[in-house]
Amino acid sequence: MRFDSDRTVVPLPDHERLLGGSVADPLWTIRDVSAYLTVPVGTLYQWRHRGEGPPAIRLGRHLRYDPDSVHRWALAQAS
């Protein structure tokens, strides 16, 4: 929700219309990945620095992870 110039409430576009009819899975934060993999956040930063961890997406100054990519990466590490 946002306010118009005359302070009336204007609803934001809903995600289904923005994404072509379906709501996409939200991206994970580094804390989400840390909890899923049961490793400290610092370890994820080290892995990223070395190019060893799950693939991340940088959005501005924030790292985000696609849950499917994290799952695939974890399975690949197990084999």
pLDDT at 73 over 60: yes
d(CA 38, CA 69): 16
Quick one: which of 55, 34, 56 has its CA closest to 43? 34
CB burial of residue 39 (10 Å; 0-12, 13-18, 19+)? middle
Instruction: Please name the residue that has the structure tokens 């400290």.
Output: 40
pLDDT at 14 over 60: no
Domains of the chain: 24-78 (1.10.1660.10)
pLDDT band at 52 (very low <50, low <70, confident <90, very high): very high
